[in-house]
Amino acid sequence: MALEFPPEALRELEQTRTRYPTARGAILPALWLAQKHFGYLSAEAMEYVATLLEVPAPQVYSAATFYTLYHKSPPAKCHIQLCTNVTCMVLGGYDLLHHAERRLGIRAGESTEDNGFRLEEVECLASCGTAPAMQVNDRYEECLTPAKIDAVLREFGLQIKAAEEGGEA
Amino acid sequence: MSAAQPGQLMRNAGVPGVHRLPVYRDQDGYTPLVNALKMTPADLIDLVDKAQVRGRGGAGFSMGRKWKFVPPRDKVDKPVYLAVNADEGEPGTFKDRWILENDPHSMLEGIAIAAWALQCHDAFIYIRGEFVKPIHIVQTAIQECYEAGIFGPRVMGKDFRLDVTVHVGAGAYICGEETGLLNSIEGKPGQPSLKPPFPAVEGLWGCPTIVQNVESLAVLPPLITLGVAEWLKLGDETHGGTKMYSISGHVKRAGVYDAPHDVSLRDLIYGEDYCQGIREGHTLKGVIPGGSSSPILTPDEIDVPMTFDALKGAGSMLGSAGTIVLDETTDMVAVATRVARFYAHESCGQCTPCREGSGWMHRILRNIQEGKGRASDLDLLLDIMGQIEGGRTICALADGTAWPLRAFVTKYREEFEAYIERGGPPPGATVSTS
């Protein structure tokens, strides 16, 4: 079945479109809308956006591929983006990253086989005053400890033996 | 957050619910806008110019002077745009986030005041995509402004339209660069454009566009309230008002602080009203004063006022005022390598010196970190820095990586030399997966 925005998304896009003097200007908002409704930006989703906005498809592709927050493949249920930039690093960010890696059995940059979890090392999230920090899907988790990471993993279904929780992975 | 008298930018700190319009209004919110609307746009621009408002995104450029670059309305009949830079991505910086989350109306009021001065009817607030919660807070506040007639076809009942649109970024530090930001609003990859032409003359869709940082705009309401003379008294003759500083790292009390412009770096680190010193049992090793693009200062360099001009004089920069304090446990080679990696990642790739140079420097530093460094590597690094900086690139990211790395390699050179001689990290150190 062809991808299509529900009516409320079409209305939202129409409203947004009026704020930009060119159709191209509405590409980023349209891609966010597509990611929200379709889960990720498949080639089909990008072509749909191009058709809707009446812009050449390569304009949509170049935007979608330049920006890192647009998913080009189905996102994990729990997408962890942990900061390892300066402040987070000197306050233990890498230790926490390794903890998460061991818990999940994957390296940073990888997803678990069932796509339940994806772990990424990212750049500054502007949480330096509450470092170390990570973004979990749409929310921030700050002042991180191994226990806090374990709590998030458990929230998304990872089994962690009670005796191990909060300790070294 | 500071327990001392909050400065002008954080004057609403601790007022519950001030991110909502009724409470903001209770704090005399939007009275400055009412007063600004009684002034002519020309007089308002003059006021901002006389108040020495320096841009707080990183460059510290005079706001009034920038506004005066917009071609006169009788000469150029194109719409004027205002683009608000809320793409806060400079490592160490989190002050704009404080404003977006806690006092969004101070920014929105600043937008309205600036729009009136510039005779601009369309403002875009570019917020980085990671800021999901701040985006919701700001959108709610914007909705409140429309409902209250502060935004819309008749601002405060005047025959003046103002529409404000949130444009959500999607993950790219380089979109914090003003032309990258504008290209992103236009729907393109956020790769910077050559200047001149400057955005004030030719920006969004070829039209005059003023780009201002969140905090810069949040200056406008208290400035109007206090007036120029009082505003200048809070700072000095080179910039008025108080200033927000984001301070993090190995301090007892990290956070956002609103202080007089000439507060010293020593005060910010050790002051009772500020960070209250290095964490227990540790000593200062170095401080990055203004975000990761700023050269690090050593412990004997911290008696410097935190102003744009003083820090420049000290061989560093205020930049985004994102201060990172590092104690003796810090491995400067690891920090330098991580900083290099950030810039290599975030280089948009357009310019050969930046694209190749940033990656090259990162690889050299990573080799040193992993024990594969050579004696000639440090001079090679310094040579590369000299080749990529100083106007050879479309934007200043190349300078943003050369300047801090040069400071690490020169001020902490023995550490790098020790890594090379030793063939790796000191015993017991863990190498980060850079």
Residues of chain A contacting B136 with CB distance shorter than 8 Å: none
What is the residue type of B338?
R
Query: Quick check: A26 and B187 CB within 8 A?
Result: yes
According to the 3-state scheme, what is the secondary structure of B319-388?
Answer: CCCEEEEEECCCCHHHHHHHHHHHHHHHCCCCCHHHHHHHHHHHHHHHHHHCCCCCCCHHHHHHHHHHHH
Interior angle at CA B76, CA B73 and CA B82, nearest 5 = 70
Residues of chain A contacting B256 with CB distance shorter than 8 Å: 129
- Provide CB contacts within 8 A for B88, sequence distance 6+: A126, B94, B95, B96, B97, B128, B131, B176, B214, B320
With bands split at pLDDT 50, 70 and 90, how would you rate the model's confidence at A169?
A: low
pLDDT of residue A162: 65
Residue B257 has phi, psi (to 5 degrees) of -125, 140
Which segments of chain A does DSSP mark as H helices, in order?
Answer: 7-17, 27-38, 43-53, 57-66, 86-90, 93-104, 146-155
Q: Each residue of B37-74: pLDDT tens digit?
A: 999 999 999 999 999 999 999 999 999 999 999 998 88
The pTM of this model reads: 0.97
- Provide CB contacts within 8 A for B196, sequence distance 6+: none
Task: Give the largest Cα separation in chain B, rounded.
Answer: 72
* pLDDT above 70 as % of chain B: 97
- Could you tell me if A52 lies within 8 Å of chain B, comparing CB atoms? no
User: Which residue in chain B has the smallest CA separation from A68?
Assistant: B171
What does the block give as tokens for A145?
């400890």
pLDDT of residue B4: 47
Q: Each residue of A119-133: pLDDT tens digit?
A: 999 999 999 999 999
- Greater confidence (A152 vs B1) lies with A152
User: Which residue in chain B has the smallest CA separation from A101?
Assistant: B433
Q: How many C-alpha atoms does B371 have within 13 Å on its Cβ side?
A: 9
What does the block give as tokens for A96?
């926490």
Query: Quick check: A68 and B172 CB within 8 A?
Result: yes
With bands split at pLDDT 50, 70 and 90, how would you rate the model's confidence at B432?
A: low
CA dihedral B424, A110, A70, B123 (to 10 degrees): -40
DSSP designation for B271: -
pLDDT of residue A165: 60
Distance between CA atoms of B50 and B52, rounded to whole angstroms? 5
pLDDT of residue B239: 77
Q: Is the pLDDT of residue B75 over 80?
A: yes
Q: Each residue of B267-277: pLDDT tens digit?
A: 999 999 999 99
pLDDT of residue B73: 84
If you average pLDDT over residues B407-412, what whole number do you get? 98
* pLDDT above 70 as % of chain A: 95
Interior angle at CA B328, CA B325 and CA B334, nearest 5 = 80
Residues of chain A contacting B428 with CB distance shorter than 8 Å: none
Which A residues in the span 109-168 are in contact with B, Cβ-Cβ below 8 Å? 121, 123-131, 135, 138-140
Q: Chain B closest CA to A18's CA: distance in Å?
A: 10
Distance between CA atoms of A104 and B228, rounded to whole angstroms? 57
- Could you tell me if A54 lies within 8 Å of chain B, comparing CB atoms? no
Distance between CA atoms of B170 and A31, rounded to whole angstroms? 10
Q: Is the pLDDT of residue B431 over 60?
A: no
What does the block give as tokens for B344?
């290599």
Distance between CA atoms of A59 and B8, rounded to whole angstroms? 43
pLDDT of residue B126: 98
What does the block give as tokens for B126?
């570019």
Distance between CA atoms of B35 and B295, rounded to whole angstroms? 41
pLDDT of residue B427: 87
Q: Beta partners for B80?
A: none
Query: Quick check: B132 and A138 CB within 8 A?
Result: yes
Query: Quick check: A91 and B249 CB within 8 A?
Result: yes
With bands split at pLDDT 50, 70 and 90, how would you rate the model's confidence at A1?
A: low
Q: Select from A123, A127, A134, A143 the residue whose CB has the most chain B CBs within 10 Å, as the one to mutate to test that interface.
A: A123
If you average pLDDT over residues B125-142, what whole number do you get? 98
For residue B301, the tally of other CB atoms under 10 A from its CB is 19
Over chain A, what is the mean pLDDT?
Answer: 95
Using the CB atoms, write b or e for B7-31: b if 16+ within 10 Å. bbbbbbbeeeebbebeebeeeebbe
Residue B202 has phi, psi (to 5 degrees) of -140, 100
- Could you tell me if A85 lies within 8 Å of chain B, comparing CB atoms? yes
Q: Select from A128, A135, A143, A144 the residue whose CB has the most chain B CBs within 10 Å, as the one to mutate to test that interface.
A: A128
If you average pLDDT over residues B249-276, what whole number do you get? 96
Q: Is the pLDDT of residue B363 over 80?
A: yes
